[in-house]
Each structure stands twice: as structure tokens, then as C-alpha cells.
A and B are shown apart, each in its own frame.
Chain A
């Protein structure tokens, strides 16, 4: 029973779901398991994975982040507008800075003023969208194509897409942050019980602020790949990005109540969504069915995790009793 409990605690249910999903798709979806297709899945998953790293931080802190939906769009507009004058590298950096700046604003309002994260990030979502739309004049701005500008989206290093590499680095950074850094430890403490954290001498405001800025940094990195991929500055680049990332984290098993969450859960959640999207395309289902299926998977996996948590809890009670 001890090993069962340890297993249930260490391996999130979502990982099992992801593995099961992979096996089912490999068996029943034609062309799914080919290496070319799996590369595609990874490419689709890359951006979602990077931004979900930021979302995971904010969720662990007990907050939520909606502003990604337009901060990356604003970044794409700024990047493309600067492109002719500065060249790709400074333009991309400016784009990252824009998203980080939105994170700074979120952090200042949530941590400094003490406003609810939902309200703050919905507000900055609209502010960033307003800026993006007015800068672009309402229409997408095309970027002059150049190899360096296209590199983040289409480049490869040792045969691996750059976007996938960046996602791997982002996930690794999140793992170091959450599992091994003192800052990550503070995220959990503040998210689990902010009052107890404060009384233990932890700078709660600084921790929360840093979390939102880091979330902006992850989204900023993703905005580089996004902008490069669409090759234009688009005020309506990817409005459902916050919902996709929240869905990925929720499917992965990160609760919206704070204090819990891990990299493996982010990976599992993103993998499930990416595989599902890909399978639906391979099976030639329409987009509407795709959305319906994703919604269904969210609900089923969250219910499954609640159920499994109950089992794990029973096993722990049992251990508690036998420990005497």
C-alpha cells in the first residue's frame, strides 16, 4: 500500500491519462504515430507549453492570468512595426519587453494594490488589445520577410525545430524554478496560505509581483515564435491563448486554488491538448467538433483527478492509522 500511495502522489493522474491517450491515438488514428506527425504535434504544442509555464506560476500563486490573450498580439504589432527600422533581433526583444511590461503592470496591481487577479488581468487584456488595435490601425501589418525573422518559427537545430527547443528550455527553467529554487518554494507557500507565509517572514508582495513578471517573460518568449510564424503584426493574434493555457494546466491537474502544480502536470496537460487537436485533424473532424472534444476532455480529466485524489486520500488515511 505504501508503494501505491507513493506512486499516486508522485505521478499525477494526468500523466497516466496522457499516456493512455497516446496509446489510443496510436492504435486508432491513422498516421498518428509516425515521426513526421509527432514532430507536428510537438511544434503545435511548443507555444502552448511555453505560455502555460507562465500560467502555471500564476495559478500556483493562487492567481490567474488572462492578459496573454492580447499582450502577445501587442508584442507582434510592436515587433513588426519596429522591424524595418531596427532589424529582427531588437524588434523581437522589444516584443518580449512589451509582454513583460504587461506582467509588471499585472504584478503591481495584484501584489501592490491588492486587486483580484481576475479583474486586473482582464483589464490589462483589454488595455493591451486597445493599444495593439490602435497601433495597427485595426488591420494586420505584414512584415518584410527575412531569414532571421522567420528563423524562430521554421528554423531547426540538429533537425529539431527551434520552437520545440525553446519550449524544452522553458519547461526545464520552470522545473528548476519550481522544484529547486527558493523563489519557486515561495510561490507554493504564498499560494497555499498567504497569511502563514507572511507570518513566516516571506515577502508576499515581492513574491507575487515576481511571479507575474516571470509569467510575462514566458509569454514574451512565446510571442517571438508566434510573430515569426504568422509573419505579421496582428491585433487579434491568438485571443483564446489564456483559455488554452488555463485548460492545459487544469487538464494537467493544477487546481485554480493555488499552492499546487508541477512541470510534469504542465507537460501532461499540453500534450493531451496537442494530441487531441492533432487527432481530430487527422480524422478530418470539423473545428467545432474539435472544440467540443477538448471541452469534454477537460471535464472528464478533472473529474478523473478528483476521483483519484479521493483514492489517494483514503490510502493516506490508512497509512496514518497504520503508522502507530
Chain B
């Protein structure tokens, strides 16, 4: 299973030395090793994919490559020469550019100002204004990454995909030798992802080395030339050419065991629990109407911008629609007030886990009980033993890992933070409807499986589930029924068993 790929030792292989390489790099925090021994070569003109489960040591390695952490053993080399990065800024000055998952632009400034800010930031001295590039130069940078926006457009108005391209443009403008993209497509639509992947192809042709970190195997297969997989702090696959490797090999290397997607789900109940009636998010939109039976899992398939996530928010009572609403057992739930919706037994797992889901700086218990204070409060006082017991049970069910109730949410990987959000919703008193938007975005295969199992378990307990997702495989795997959402309206319905291609065609249809 462990496949050693073409491992160049700087002098062994033909061809030029790698632009950036890590040689037997190890990193320990105190007595424990986050990375035990990792080798990685980035050659110019290649897209090198880096994969690993949450907690495998992937992000530690990336931080070392970017100069944010110092290795405890081993060394980095640039074009065969040993180098020590003192800081991220130092690494950038050597041509190693991070493209962050959480974008780092100045949202209130224009595209021009953002492009210039970076040029200024990297120059020194008071006369930095002289370094100000011309508009023409800047337009060239934008064109180079396939971004067509006005220089005067405020960044706030750009889509996530456009911001990411802008970030890449900034790096390219600084003559980046290496781009490090951590989960670049996590928040992108299919169309935007394709633009990004095209752009990476162009940069590769120009000789840039690209380190591409992603959980999405299909993208890795589509774009990467070589692949490194880390598990438990060592390389399970080291720089193997993609053509020699199957998707199954990759998954096996990542998790050490086979994690197959769920294929069988139990049938749902007969009686209708949830009725969505005349729901419109904007004036003049076609109203959304559908019903959800007891234990039924209904998918809202939509590419980003389709409004599937917004419909989910409205159903959950997180935003007020302009008309219509949701009835549970024939009783309307208050619109636009989550407090009322929670009281009616409506759970909600929001799209943006970081901004709207977890309380990063608070502990596991605070996170887990946030939507069910009523269960653990008597005369205004919290019953902490009961809280602990209740959280312990539900977190065991969703498979929190590591199982540490004394940690803060920020101490967990993304997948496990999502488990905290889901556990919180499963604890809602009298849960009747669970609404989720992109429940497994940016989550590794094992956590994804655990989250899907938790959803199925809830549905078998009679909870109606609505899942908005741009991940078609997810919807095919766990939904009884998939609704196609375009332009904030339902334009098609597929029963379980539909083929992937049918749904893609329906999403793409005008």
C-alpha cells in the first residue's frame, strides 16, 4: 500500500534540482512529533498534490514550508541550497507564496489598492510609493490569472473565487516560484473551481511550482502531476506520478483503511412532518414548495449562486423570506428568528462553519450545549453534570476525535469542529427538522463518513432532514430525494437512484 514514488535526492535524478524541497523534515512540539519524517520535492512547472486526513501532519508541513514554523529536524532547500526561513515574510521574499483558505485581502479597499498594498508591503523604506505599479501592469496581472474585474471594484463585492484569483495574481506579480494553495476550492462553485484549475494549469506552463492541498480527490486527479500523502506524520505516498495511482490507492493511503461512501439508507416514514409553502427569498422569484416526510432526507442540489444555501437558511429560520414559510406538523414556525425556530425543533448547520458555526475560543461543552440550554438549566442555573453527560453521549455518537471534552473548538480539525456543530443541533429539544448547508465542506473522508452516519441516524430516529449541497456525490449518497435548485427555485426532482450525470445535466440546464 505504501508506495514510494520517484524520490529525488537532489543529485540522483536527471533534470534540475527541485525549486523547494523538504529533506527528512520532522517537527515535534515538546515530546510529541507532529511530523516524524517527511520528504517533499516541488519541481518548477508541476502541480504537486498534498493530501492527508485531518491531523495527519499536513498543516504542520505546510507551515514549515511557508516559514511559519521551524522544523526540529531535517532541512529545507531552495534549488538544492539549504535555506532557513525565519518568517513567512522571509519565505515570501524567497518566492514561496501562501494562498490562504481564509482570504487575506482588505475587503474595503479596491482591487487596485489590494494589488498595490502587496507591492508596498514587500518593498522597504519611506519611498515605497515609487514602487506603485501602473494600471496597465496590474491589468496584465489580472489577465494572467483569468480574472476580469475592474481595478476600481471594491474587494467586498468580489465572489470568493474572484478573491482567490486576485490573491494568486498578487503572488504572480511578485514573481512567485512556488504557490501553496490550501483547500483553494473549498468555498468555490464548480464553475469557479474550473476557472481556478485552468489558471493553475497556465501557471504550471509558465514554470511555477504549485503545491495543491485538497480533500477533493476528483480535483486532485484532474489537476495534479504528482502526489504526496501524509499519514501519522510520515509519507504514505511520496511524490508518486498521478498516472501510476488510483483513487482507491489514495484513499487507502490517507486513512489506512477503506472508507466507502454510504450506499444504502433505510426508507423514510409516510407522514408529512415539514411543509415548505410559497417560500420566496426575493420579490418575483418562483415560490419554493415541497414537503418532507418523517425521517426523510431531502437534498437541495445547487451550484453556488443558485440560492440553495439561502433557501436552507430561510427554512431554518435564519433569514426571513419575503413570502411564505415553513410549517411543522401543520404549525407555522416564526420566520427569520432562529430563537423561535429552535423552539419549534429546527436545527441548522450553517454553510460557513468558521464564521457562523463554531465558537472557536470556547470549550467543547459550551459549543455542544449552545442550542439546548433549556435541557440543562433549572431556575437559571446550569446543571453541569447533566450537561457533561449529555455532551459526552452525543459526541461519542458523532465520533469526536480526539475525544477531549476539555479542549477548545479551535483545537480540533475542521471535520471535528463540524461534528461539534452537528452534535449541538442533534441535542435540540424535540428536534423535528435538521437543516444543513454544505455539511461536509473542507472535511476529510473519514469525518465525512462519520457526519453522514450521524445524519442517517437522526433520520432513522424520525427527524426530517434538508441538506443543501453543491457536492452531488454527497446528495446521491445520503438523500431519499434530490431537488434541483436554480435561481432560488426548484426546477427538478430526482428520486434516490438517479445517476450522477443526470443531476449534473439538470444543474447545467438553462
Cβ–Cβ contact A201 & B343, under 8 A: yes
Could you tell me which residues of chain A, from 191 to 248, have a CB within 8 Å of some CB in chain B?
A: 192-193, 195-203
Q: How far is the CA of A66 from the CA of B55 in the complex (A)?
A: 44
Contact of A324 (CB < 8 Å), options: B232, B359, B381 = B232
Minimum CB–CB distance from A161 to chain B (whole Å) comes to 30
Cβ–Cβ contact B381 & A200, under 8 A: no
User: Cβ of B97: which chain A residues have Cβ within 8 Å of it?
Assistant: none
Question: Could you list 12 examples of A-B contacts with CB < 8 Å?
Answer: A1-B30, A1-B31, A181-B381, A188-B359, A193-B356, A193-B358, A196-B350, A199-B338, A199-B356, A317-B411, A320-B55, A323-B402
Q: How far is the CA of A202 from the CA of B402 in the complex (A)?
A: 28
A-B contact count (CB 8 A): 111
Question: Contacts A200-B424, A314-B30, A322-B32: A189 and B361 contacting too (C-beta < 8 A)?
Answer: no
Contact of A199 (CB < 8 Å), options: B318, B381, B404 = B318
A183 at the interface (CB under 8 A from B): yes
B43 at the interface (CB under 8 A from A): no
Segment at the A interface, from B147-155, B285-293, B366-374: B366-374
Question: Contacts A183-B380, A316-B407: A197 and B32 contacting too (C-beta < 8 A)?
Answer: no
User: Cβ of B478: which chain A residues have Cβ within 8 Å of it?
Assistant: none
Contact of B381 (CB < 8 Å), options: A182, A201, A322 = A182
Residue with the greatest number of chain B CB neighbours at <10 A, chosen from A188, A200, A314, A319: A200
User: Cβ of B424: which chain A residues have Cβ within 8 Å of it?
Assistant: 200
Cβ–Cβ contact A323 & B29, under 8 A: no
A145 at the interface (CB under 8 A from B): no
Q: How far is the CA of A171 from the CA of B32 in the complex (A)?
A: 40
Partner-B contacts on A (CB < 8 A): 1, 6, 9, 180-183, 185-186, 188-189, 192-193, 195-203, 259-260, 314-324
Could you tell me which residues of chain B, from 373 to 431, have a CB within 8 Å of some CB in chain A?
A: 373, 377, 380-382, 384, 401-404, 406-407, 411, 424, 428
Cβ–Cβ contact A317 & B34, under 8 A: yes
Minimum CB–CB distance from A158 to chain B (whole Å) comes to 29
Q: How far is the CA of A224 from the CA of B323 in the complex (A)?
A: 53
Residue with the greatest number of chain B CB neighbours at <10 A, chosen from A1, A192, A201, A314: A201
Could you tell me which residues of chain B, from 346 to 368, have a CB within 8 Å of some CB in chain A?
A: 348, 350, 355-362, 366
Cβ–Cβ contact A182 & B411, under 8 A: no
Contact of B382 (CB < 8 Å), options: A182, A201, A323 = A182
Could you tell me which residues of chain B, from 93 to 138, have a CB within 8 Å of some CB in chain A?
A: none
User: Cβ of B348: which chain A residues have Cβ within 8 Å of it?
Assistant: 199
Cβ–Cβ contact A195 & B356, under 8 A: yes
Q: How far is the CA of A212 from the CA of B348 in the complex (A)?
A: 29
User: Cβ of B87: which chain A residues have Cβ within 8 Å of it?
Assistant: none
Minimum CB–CB distance from A284 to chain B (whole Å) comes to 44
A255 nearest CB neighbor, chain B only: B361
Question: Contacts A316-B407, A318-B32, A320-B411: A202 and B370 contacting too (C-beta < 8 A)?
Answer: yes
Cβ–Cβ contact A192 & B360, under 8 A: yes
B370 nearest CB neighbor, chain A only: A200
Cβ–Cβ contact B381 & A185, under 8 A: no
Contact of A188 (CB < 8 Å), options: B355, B366, B371 = B366
Q: How far is the CA of A260 from the CA of B362 in the complex (A)?
A: 8
User: Cβ of B380: which chain A residues have Cβ within 8 Å of it?
Assistant: 181-183
Cβ–Cβ contact B411 & A200, under 8 A: no
A9 nearest CB neighbor, chain B only: B406
Cβ–Cβ contact A260 & B361, under 8 A: yes
Contact of A185 (CB < 8 Å), options: B32, B361, B373, B428 = B373
Cβ–Cβ contact A323 & B404, under 8 A: yes
User: Cβ of B361: which chain A residues have Cβ within 8 Å of it?
Assistant: 192, 259-260
Cβ–Cβ contact B356 & A182, under 8 A: no
Cβ–Cβ contact A320 & B359, under 8 A: no
Closest 8 CB pairs of A and B: A201-B342, A323-B402, A318-B29, A200-B370, A200-B371, A192-B359, A321-B32, A182-B377
Minimum CB–CB distance from A75 to chain B (whole Å) comes to 28
User: Cβ of A323: which chain B residues have Cβ within 8 Å of it?
Assistant: 401-404
User: Cβ of A9: which chain B residues have Cβ within 8 Å of it?
Assistant: 406
B339 at the interface (CB under 8 A from A): yes
Minimum CB–CB distance from A111 to chain B (whole Å) comes to 14
Q: How far is the CA of A183 from the CA of B316 in the complex (A)?
A: 24
Q: How far is the CA of A198 from the CA of B337 in the complex (A)?
A: 8
B159 at the interface (CB under 8 A from A): no
Cβ–Cβ contact A199 & B362, under 8 A: no
B412 nearest CB neighbor, chain A only: A320
Question: Contacts A182-B380, A192-B362: A317 and B371 contacting too (C-beta < 8 A)?
Answer: no
Q: How far is the CA of A260 from the CA of B408 in the complex (A)?
A: 12
B341 at the interface (CB under 8 A from A): yes
Q: How far is the CA of A198 from the CA of B338 in the complex (A)?
A: 7
A206 nearest CB neighbor, chain B only: B339
B374 nearest CB neighbor, chain A only: A182
Q: How far is the CA of A322 from the CA of B28 in the complex (A)?
A: 11
Cβ–Cβ contact B30 & A180, under 8 A: no
Question: Contacts A182-B381, A201-B341, A203-B339: A195 and B355 contacting too (C-beta < 8 A)?
Answer: yes
User: Cβ of B343: which chain A residues have Cβ within 8 Å of it?
Assistant: 201
Q: How far is the CA of A199 from the CA of B341 in the complex (A)?
A: 9
Q: How far is the CA of A314 from the CA of B373 in the complex (A)?
A: 32
B491 at the interface (CB under 8 A from A): no
B2 at the interface (CB under 8 A from A): no
Q: How far is the CA of A198 from the CA of B336 in the complex (A)?
A: 11
Cβ–Cβ contact A321 & B339, under 8 A: no
Q: How far is the CA of A262 from the CA of B384 in the complex (A)?
A: 17
B33 at the interface (CB under 8 A from A): yes
Given A196-B355, A201-B338, 7 other A-B contacts at CB below 8 A?
A182-B381, A182-B382, A185-B369, A196-B358, A201-B341, A316-B411, A321-B55
